[in-house]
């Protein structure tokens, strides 16, 4: 099949790049996925077989089209993204014409003279008419602005007189207005007929019931405070109190009752004891339901006639229509907010499912962008074709998103991600796309059908919704196909690149990955003169360990994105405010400016009075003469005010200085502008009339000037009015008036300070404290938490210097330690005992004199290693070993192989080559060509051994074992010059023939298990063989030495329990007292004469069906893990099997148990299980690795695992959630140890690295040798005294961690 | 006042692991019931507000307290009902032996809740020509909801039965004067009530099943261990 060709050629290409080939062999699912159900790779398959139904043919065609489309998208990502962006922008362009969102009212001014009620039908030609200007308004507002003053002011008057008598005149004015009747032959019109009739106030407004009118004309004035009854007013002892008692408590920004009744802002009313200007201003507001020009003009003329305003120059020929936007109140907001919360939850739960991609956040963002811009496109397109949206966008938006959905995007991602990883990116995209094409198309068709059904409900709102949804769906599909697919391909490619960069060793010529965005300030460490350099690793390496959320936070903090967003948002908001001008800000500013500048004042106030007089009279009505002529009789009986005002009219002319000047300025022309923009909506809302999306018309104001004589003021005085003291001083006069302003300012300032503090705290939390310095600070990091950290204390260079323990001639095979002593065994079979404090070599076993030719042993081991090398043919290069080829031919070799190459095993032993060559010469060829029959030669045993000691065996290798393993491992070959070594102890004969497969050290006894099943006990200090047991014949694969018991696991799956008996108790612990500082170790507690015997107490023959791979003992328990997928727990005392733990779906490769009875196991399936040893129940079960779990360590809070995928994962122990993972170098994943609760040490290529477990920070890297590309550290043992020992080729390296020592003290 | 059964606002996703930790079955049941109850109360309040909005075009500044202006026992009743329904659904699935496999994801549940709120929104905000149209539209939407998110026969049957029962009891309450509609138009109320009930039952069932999924996982794990 063509697909296979592509696959293999692709793999070949990758193989050239190096060490990737195995990935093509890696995935077991490849066998499934290489033949995708619906992935026609080329046109050949497009021709359907004749038996196909229409549906299948359609399906084929769709998937073929998707396949090609996927190829296209992945091949030309940049042009396609550009094209998509351009089309999004083009489709959104019509949106520019839509009004900006904002709640400010919009105005439109027409002339009064030829005003007609606008019709409902839109008229095309009226260009400047806004589209809301249709139909009659909700109401016409006719304000009557009254300015009244007592003049001349004389000193006998008390402050209350300033407003009592002027306010008292409101009642006669109201009377006048109510009784005004206009009769022009066509009928008698009165206010009752024209005004807006209101019914009940809304329930819940009981306290307003006495003040606001009900069941009648909506006519509001200050008289409403006293129910429009003069008697109540006259008997009111304290007018100000009456006014104030209706004010809401606290700060109130929207329209208050006082504003509503007075019709002017509070500080302009002059109703105050401290008024300086002594002019009282208020408005009588008439709300008219219908417009009658004649009535209004007659009323205007009548009022003017009664109370002429001489210097009034107000323009009266314009009426203003004010359109109000949708009101969004708290109550409306609650359901809206709920829907948005649901929407976000939906988006969250959806995008959470995106997995296995390079950047989860990026893809989630792309998904959201896809949906949002498809919505925008939908609105834009609908607008383009003349459909104006009438629905509230904010309300239907969440539902649109939910209808369109994110599902397709997720399905796409999932499908693409699950394609085989070894394919080329564009093939992956194409395959993933075509796999899901059918379901995508089906879903889309279903949704379109549902929406079409909705369209035929014939409800306009639903129809509009459906229309938007259809266009949105189609544009969403378009964006998915072009935008999201392309982004996905870019993401996948990035992942591939990152993968390549990570996988390839640096010397392969690949460019190093760029330093991640996180730590740009980290300079690479300067080269150090010391051969043992301690350096931080390169930033690229360090980048991989932080949790993602932290990285995002750091990114935000570093780029100060949040700050910038806030700034930009504020600027935009202010701009929008200034643009839409909701609160009349511009007018207010203009008024302020004109008030303050004398020039503006003179220009505005000086000129118009003279000019303005003339147009006043002919101005208003259509026929002023007619109106005047039909002035009705009832106006006559009120001559008094007319006379009075006439009489006082002359007063200002006489130049009396105390006369308050009543002036009419431009600001009075539209006095309502100074009110809150919520003034009218709140007035109407009291009667359950909404102004949202409707408009009102405000008629030109009728000015009335009232001059009252002091006598009248005194007459109307209430007896209690004189109690008020005169104003103390003029200085403080303006203070109370502006108090609200100060309050607002103070509150604003406080809020601002609070905000700044809050932001500062946030900044401190998010950002690095030492901004310019090295390293990244962690907000969560506590002081003293770490032994050494990035920026605080880092130990001096000289303190961590590895101590090299030289002596072995070959690579180290086994390591064992009890804290004080360290035993190591090399491939040559030589055991050396070291003092861990000083690093001195105490003993060499066998002693030099006794050694026979180690070359044969070496040769034996060598073969074993070669066999390992064979497992990775790509690493073998030339395939120098004939044995390797033979091994490869073994049948039953599974498709699945080890996923991790271990080039270090082979490449790092160049010095062995001559040895091998010599041995080749000395060997007969028949021994070289190892072509064993299946039962003849247990080659797998060697491999097994190698794996056991270094890494757990891989499934591929173990599967190739000959099934009957019970037979004794036959001698591999005759040892040529084999000399029976003299037994100095006399009683035992050390066996040099077979290799040491397992070694344990307790006290000064070394237990060594050999490949021929022999268990030997050596004296660690004297180097003498104390006893030997040859009960078993199968090779000992693992040993556990606890107290006086030794447990040996054998290759055939049996488990042997030995007891070590001495004639006097074994003083195991006494040796630990004085550490040997000299070369001469203190003598052991048992004398050399003591007879030590090792007896097999119990042998569990079939402990496991398959070879035991791991054996651990602690806390009186022995735990074994085997190839047969089970873990068994034995009691040490009586060798009783307590539990058989099942749960893994692969062989057990790693087990951890410690004194606290924590048992963790890892298997070849990549799973890690935590068990409760007391009950045998599984506590948690996580899948962590792609490939075997190679080692496991637990701390009290977390579990650390490493796998064949070179990943070290840190899990939370209680919840089983992965905290983070550390990418290791190739082949070095297996060696790790925990020094303290928060310090992890891992082995690398010629170095060991220390990590902070809490944060995943690399603390230090200690290089073991001079060349950085040394051998990989395969074994690592943590000693009690906070030192670590690791193998380094043929040497051992002892690294002290001094800071940890301090911590432990 | 109108009563509306309800679905989930935000079920805290972070609660999942905590629930998983608790192994006791009855404790889980109580927690689940409580979560469903609170979801029901919350959505009853919110959706009630939506219905109030229909009758009062504009809220005066201090009518915000009218959220609680309806009878106090309405939200608890809705909460109890939703808890019962949410527990009943997985139980019936269990009894019938046909575990619900369709779209078992939180995102799908969220989508369902959003559509449910949308149906309420439409019934409250959209002006229909007549009641028959309103009825038919809502019925179609409700059945669409069931088909999109549930598709189980037991779910449909239970939904219909509970919707009918709830409508009946509401009408009984109204006729006995315990409870009255804000709008005098009985036919109007009756036309949308069953559909809303049905959609609510489906939604709560969906949430209940999703919540029960955690418990199921837990149980299966336990049996596996044993």
Q: What is the pLDDT of residues B116-148, one digit of tens each?
A: 988 888 887 777 777 778 888 888 888 888 988
Q: What is the model's pLDDT at position A52?
A: 65
**Which range scores top for mean pLDDT: A252-266, A901-915, A1014-1028?**
A1014-1028
**B83: pLDDT confidence band, cut at 50, 70 and 90?**
very high
Q: What is the model's pLDDT at position A40?
A: 41
CB contact under 8 A, A685 and B60: yes
Contact of A330 with chain B, judged by CB distance below 8 Å, is answered with yes
Nearest by CB: B137 against A399, A462, A686: A462
Let me know if A268 is exposed, middle or buried by CB neighbors in 10 A (0-12, 13-18, 19+): buried
Contact of A388 with chain B, judged by CB distance below 8 Å, is answered with no
- Expressed in angstroms, the distance from the first to the final Cα of chain A is 67
C-beta separation of A1112 from A1040 below 8 A: yes
Cβ under 8 Å to A: B residues 21-60: 21, 43, 46-47, 49-50, 52-53, 56-60
Contact of B183 with chain A, judged by CB distance below 8 Å, is answered with no
Choose among A513, A565, A570: nearest CA to A544: A513
How close does chain A come to B171, measured CA to CA in Å? 26
What is the average per-residue pLDDT within B190-210? Answer: 87
How confident is the model over A1111-1138, as pLDDT tens digits? 888 877 888 888 888 888 888 877 788 8
CB contact under 8 A, B10 and A341: yes
What is the average per-residue pLDDT within B52-65? Answer: 50
**B192: pLDDT confidence band, cut at 50, 70 and 90?**
confident
How confident is the model over A695-742, as pLDDT tens digits? 888 888 888 888 888 888 888 777 777 765 554 444 444 444 456 677
**A207: pLDDT confidence band, cut at 50, 70 and 90?**
low
Choose among A347, A346, A498: nearest CA to A421: A498
Cβ under 8 Å to B: A residues 434-453: 450, 453
How close does chain A come to B132, measured CA to CA in Å? 11
Residue B199 has pLDDT above 90, yes or no: yes
- Comparison of pLDDT for B191 and A701, the residue scoring more: A701
Q: What is the model's pLDDT at position B69?
A: 54
CA atoms of A510 and A504, how far apart (whole Å): 7
How confident is the model over A170-190, as pLDDT tens digits? 888 888 888 888 877 777 888
Contact of A1143 with chain B, judged by CB distance below 8 Å, is answered with yes
Question: What dihedral angle (degrees, nearest 10) is formed by the CA atoms of A741, A744, A747, A753?
Answer: -80
Question: What dihedral angle (degrees, nearest 10) is formed by the CA atoms of A713, A715, A720, A722?
Answer: 50
Residue A834 has pLDDT above 60, yes or no: yes
Contact of A343 with chain B, judged by CB distance below 8 Å, is answered with yes
**Which range scores top for mean pLDDT: A619-628, A666-675, A815-824, A1081-1090?**
A815-824
Residue A1206 has pLDDT above 50, yes or no: yes
How confident is the model over A261-319, as pLDDT tens digits? 888 877 777 777 776 677 888 888 888 888 888 888 888 888 888 887 777 777 777 88
Q: If you measure CA to CA, which chain A residue comes closest to B132?
A: A457
Flag the least confident range among A301-305, A480-484, A1070-1074.
A1070-1074
- Comparison of pLDDT for A328 and B120, the residue scoring more: B120
Residue A551 has pLDDT above 80, yes or no: no
Flag the least confident range among A366-370, A1176-1180, B64-68, B98-102.
B64-68
Flag the least confident range among A70-79, A574-583, A621-630.
A621-630
Contacts 24+ apart (CB under 8 A), A871-876: A871/A897, A871/A898, A871/A943, A871/A954, A871/A956, A871/A957, A872/A22, A872/A897, A872/A898, A872/A901, A872/A902, A872/A903, A874/A15, A874/A19, A874/A21, A874/A22, A874/A901, A875/A19, A875/A901, A875/A902, A875/A903, A875/A906, A875/A907, A876/A906
Contact of A1187 with chain B, judged by CB distance below 8 Å, is answered with no
Q: What backbone torsions phi and psi does residue A1128 show, to the nearest 5 degrees?
A: -120, 145
Residue A600 has pLDDT above 50, yes or no: no
Q: What is the model's pLDDT at position A1172?
A: 81
C-beta separation of A977 from A853 below 8 A: yes
CA atoms of A898 and A875, how far apart (whole Å): 12
Flag the least confident range among A151-155, A521-525, A826-830, A1106-1110.
A521-525
C-beta separation of A327 from A678 below 8 A: no
Look at residue A531 and give its three-state secondary structure: coil
A352 contacts in chain B (CB < 8 Å): 107
Residue A1301 has pLDDT above 70, yes or no: no
E-strand stretches of A1003-1054: 1005-1010, 1015-1019, 1025-1029, 1036-1042, 1045-1050
- Comparison of pLDDT for A1225 and A640, the residue scoring more: A1225
ipTM comes to 0.80
Choose among A198, A193, A191, A196: nearest CA to A212: A198
pTM to 2 decimal places: 0.44
A343 contacts in chain B (CB < 8 Å): 114
**CA dist list (Å): A837 to A156, A840, A1257, A1296:** 108, 8, 29, 10
CA atoms of B175 and B173, how far apart (whole Å): 6
Average pLDDT, chain B: 75
Flag the least confident range among A25-29, A1040-1044, B172-176.
A25-29
C-beta separation of A1194 from A1213 below 8 A: yes
DSSP B203-222: HHHHHHHHHHHHHHHHHHHH
Residue A980 has pLDDT above 70, yes or no: no
Q: What is the model's pLDDT at position A1190?
A: 83
CA atoms of A113 and A88, how far apart (whole Å): 48
How close does chain B come to A334, measured CA to CA in Å? 7
What is the average per-residue pLDDT within A967-991? Answer: 42
DSSP B169-180: HHHHHHHTTSS-
Average pLDDT, chain A: 67
Look at residue A1046 and give its three-state secondary structure: strand
How close does chain B come to A469, measured CA to CA in Å? 14
Nearest by CB: B63 against A204, A335, A458: A204
What is the average per-residue pLDDT within A1010-1036? Answer: 78
A346 contacts in chain B (CB < 8 Å): 107, 110-111, 114
């Amino acid at each position: 099949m063509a697909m296979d060709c592509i696959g293999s050629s692709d793999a070949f290409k990758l193989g050239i790049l190096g060490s990737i080939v195995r990935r093509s062999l890696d995935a077991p699912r490849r066998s499934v996925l290489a033949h995708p159900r619906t992935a026609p790779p080329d046109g050949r398959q497009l021709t359907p077989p004749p038996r196909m139904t229409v549906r299948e043919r359609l399906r084929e065609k769709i998937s073929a089209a998707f396949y090609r489309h996927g190829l296209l998208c992945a091949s030309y990502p940049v042009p396609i993204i550009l094209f998509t962006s351009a089309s999004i922008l083009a489709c959104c362009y019509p949106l520019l014409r839509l009004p900006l969102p904002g709640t400010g009212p919009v105005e439109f001014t027409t002339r009064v003279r030829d005003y007609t009620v606008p019709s409902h039908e839109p008229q095309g030609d009226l260009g400047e008419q806004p589209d809301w200007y249709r139909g009659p308004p909700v109401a016409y507002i006719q304000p009557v602005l009254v300015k009244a003053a007592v003049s001349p002011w004389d000193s006998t008057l008390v402050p209350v007189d300033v407003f009592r008598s002027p306010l008292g005149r409101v009642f006669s004015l109201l009377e006048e207005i109510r009784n005004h009747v206009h009769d022009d032959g066509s009928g008698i019109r009165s206010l009752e007929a024209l005004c807006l009739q209101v019914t009940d106030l809304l329930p819940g407004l009981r306290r307003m019931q006495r003040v606001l009118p009900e069941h009648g004309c909506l006519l509001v004035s200050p008289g409403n405070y006293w129910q429009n009854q003069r008697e109540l007013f006259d008997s009111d002892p304290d007018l100000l109190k009456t006014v104030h008692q209706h004010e809401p408590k606290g700060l109130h920004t929207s329209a208050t009752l006082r504003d509503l009744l007075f019709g002017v802002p509070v500080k302009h009313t002059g109703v105050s004891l401290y008024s300086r200007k002594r002019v009282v201003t208020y408005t009588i507001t008439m709300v008219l339901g219908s417009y009658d020009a004649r009535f209004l003009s007659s009323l205007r003329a009548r009022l003017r006639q009664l109370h002429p305003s001489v210097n009034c120059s107000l323009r009266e020929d314009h009426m203003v229509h004010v359109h109000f936007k949708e009101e969004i109140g708290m109550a409306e907001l609650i359901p809206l907010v709920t829907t948005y919360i649901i929407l976000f939850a939906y988006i969250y739960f959806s995008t959470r499912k995106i997995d296995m991609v390079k950047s989860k956040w990026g893809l989630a963002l792309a998904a959201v962008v896809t949906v949002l811009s498809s919505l925008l496109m939908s609105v834009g397109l609908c607008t383009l074709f003349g459909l104006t949206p009438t629905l509230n966008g904010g309300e239907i938006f969440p539902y649109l998103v939910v209808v369109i959905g994110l599902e397709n995007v997720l399905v796409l991602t999932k499908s693409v991600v699950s394609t085989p990883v070894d394919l080329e990116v564009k093939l992956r995209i194409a395959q993933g796309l075509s796999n899901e094409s059918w379901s995508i198309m089906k879903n889309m068709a279903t949704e379109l059908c549902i929406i079409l059904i909705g369209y035929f409900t014939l409800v306009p709102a639903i129809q509009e919704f459906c229309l938007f949804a259809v266009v949105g769906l189609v544009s969403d599909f378009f964006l998915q196909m072009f935008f999201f697919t392309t982004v996905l391909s870019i993401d996948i490619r990035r992942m591939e690149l990152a993968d390549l960069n990570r996988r390839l060793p640096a010397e392969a010529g690949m460019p190093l990955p760029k330093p991640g965005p996180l730590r740009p300030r980290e300079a690479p460490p300067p080269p150090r003169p010391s051969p043992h350099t301690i350096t931080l690793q390169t930033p690229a390496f360090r980048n991989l360990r932080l949790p993602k959320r932290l990285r995002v936070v750091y990114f935000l903090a570093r780029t100060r994105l949040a700050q910038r967003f806030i700034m930009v948002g504020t600027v935009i908001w202010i701009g929008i405010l200034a643009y839409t001008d909701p609160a009349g800000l511009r007018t207010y500013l203009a008024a302020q400016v004109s008030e303050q500048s004398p020039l503006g004042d003179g220009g505005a106030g000086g000129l118009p009075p003279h000019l303005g007089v003339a147009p006043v009279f002919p101005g208003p009505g259509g026929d002023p003469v007619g109106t005047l002529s039909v002035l009705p009789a009832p106006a006559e009986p009120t001559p008094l005010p007319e006379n009075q005002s006439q009489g006082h009219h002359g007063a200002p002319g006489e130049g009396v200085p105390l006369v308050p000047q009543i002036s009419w300025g431009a600001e009075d022309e539209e006095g309502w502008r100074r009110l809150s923009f919520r003034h009218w909506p709140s007035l109407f809302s009291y009667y359950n009339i909404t102004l949202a999306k409707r408009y009102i018309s405000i008629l030109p104001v009728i000015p009335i000037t009232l001059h009252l004589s002091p006598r009248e003021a005194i007459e109307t005085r209430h007896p209690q009015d004189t109690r008020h003291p005169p104003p103390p001083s003029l200085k403080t006069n303006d203070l109370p008036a502006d108090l609200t302003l100060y309050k607002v300012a103070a509150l604003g300032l406080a809020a601002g300070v609070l905000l700044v503090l809050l932001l500062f705290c946030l900044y401190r939390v998010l950002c690095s404290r030492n901004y310019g310095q090295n390293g990244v600070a962690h907000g969560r990091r506590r002081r003293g938490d770490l032994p050494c950290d990035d920026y605080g204390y880092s130990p001096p260079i000289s303190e961590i210097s590895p101590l090299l323990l030289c002596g072995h001639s070959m690579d180290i095979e086994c390591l064992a330690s009890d804290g004080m002593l360290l035993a190591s065994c090399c491939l040559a079979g030589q055991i050396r005992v070291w003092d861990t404090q000083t690093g001195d070599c105490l003993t060499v076993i066998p002693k030099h004199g006794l050694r026979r030719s180690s070359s044969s042993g070496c040769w034996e081991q060598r073969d074993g290693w070669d066999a390992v090398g064979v497992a990775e043919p790509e690493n073998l290069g030339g395939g120098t070993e004939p044995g390797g080829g033979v091994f490869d031919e073994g049948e039953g070799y599974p498709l699945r192989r080890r996923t991790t190459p271990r080039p270090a095993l082979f490449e790092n032993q160049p010095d062995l080559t001559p040895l091998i060559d010599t041995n080749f010469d000395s060997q007969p060829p028949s021994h070289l060509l190892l072509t064993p029959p299946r039962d003849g030669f247990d080659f797998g045993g060697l491999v097994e051994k190698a794996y056991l000691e270094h890494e757990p065996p891989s499934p591929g290798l173990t599967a190739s074992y000959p099934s009957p393993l019970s037979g004794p491992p036959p001698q591999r070959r005759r040892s040529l010059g084999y000399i029976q070594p003299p037994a100095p102890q006399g009683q035992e004969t050390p066996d040099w023939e077979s290799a040491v497969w397992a070694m344990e050290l307790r006290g000064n006894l070394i237990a060594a298990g050999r490949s021929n099943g022999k268990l030997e006990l050596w004296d660690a200090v004297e180097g003498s063989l104390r006893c030997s047991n040859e009960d078993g014949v199968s090779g000992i694969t693992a040993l556990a030495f606890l107290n006086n018991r030794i447990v040996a696991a054998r290759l055939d799956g049996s488990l042997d329990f030995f007891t070590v008996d001495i004639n006097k108790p074994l003083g195991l612990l006494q040796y630990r007292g004085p550490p040997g500082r000299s070369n001469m170790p203190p003598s052991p507690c048992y004398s050399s004469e003591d007879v030590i015997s090792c007896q097999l107490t119990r042998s569990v023959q079939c402990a496991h069906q398959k070879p035991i791979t791991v054996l651990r003992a602690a806390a009186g328990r022995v735990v074994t893990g085997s190839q047969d997928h089970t873990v068994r727990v034995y009691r040490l005392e009586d060798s009783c099997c307590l539990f058989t733990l099942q749960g893994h779906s692969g062989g057990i490769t790693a087990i951890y148990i410690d004194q606290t009875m924590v048992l963790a196991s890892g298997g070849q399936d990549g799973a890690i299980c935590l068990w409760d040893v007391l009950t045998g129940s599984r506590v948690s079960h996580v899948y962590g690795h792609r490939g075997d779990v190679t080692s496991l360590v637990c701390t009290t809070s977390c579990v650390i695992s490493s796998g064949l995928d070179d990943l070290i994962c840190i899990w939370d122990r209680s919840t089983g959630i992965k905290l983070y993972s550390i990418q290791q170098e190739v082949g070095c994943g297996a060696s790790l140890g925990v020094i303290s609760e928060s310090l992890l040490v891992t082995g690398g290529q010629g170095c060991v690295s220390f990590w902070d477990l809490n944060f995943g920070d690399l603390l230090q890297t200690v290089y073991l040798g001079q060349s950085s590309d040394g051998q990989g550290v395969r074994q690592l043992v943590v000693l009690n005294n906070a030192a670590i020992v690791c193998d380094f080729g043929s040497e051992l390296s002892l690294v002290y961690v001094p800071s940890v020592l301090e911590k432990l003290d | 006042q109108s009563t509306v059964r309800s679905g989930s606002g935000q079920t805290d996703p972070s609660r999942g692991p905590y629930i998983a930790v608790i192994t006791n079955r009855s404790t889980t049941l109580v927690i689940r019931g409580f979560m469903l109850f609170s979801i029901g109360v919350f959505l009853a309040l919110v959706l009630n507000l939506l219905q109030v909005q229909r009758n009062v075009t504009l809220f005066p500044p201090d009518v915000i307290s009218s959220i609680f202006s309806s009878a106090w026992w309405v939200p608890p009743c809705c909460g109890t009902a939703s808890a019962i329904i949410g527990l009943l659904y997985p139980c019936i699935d269990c009894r019938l032996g046909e575990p619900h496999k369709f779209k078992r994801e939180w995102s799908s549940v969220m989508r369902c809740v959003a559509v449910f709120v949308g149906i309420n929104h439409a019934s409250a905000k959209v002006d229909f020509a007549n009641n028959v149209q309103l009825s038919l539209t809502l019925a179609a939407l409700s059945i669409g909801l069931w088909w999109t998110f549930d598709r189980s026969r037991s779910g449909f049957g239970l939904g219909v039965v509970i919707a009918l029962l709830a409508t009946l009891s509401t009408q009984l309450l109204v006729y006995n004067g315990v409870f009255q509609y804000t709008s005098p138009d009985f036919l109007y109320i009756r036309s949308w009530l069953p559909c809303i009930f049905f959609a609510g039952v489906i939604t709560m069932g969906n949430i209940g099943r999703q919540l029960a999924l955690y418990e199921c996982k837990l149980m299966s794990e336990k049996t596996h261990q044993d």
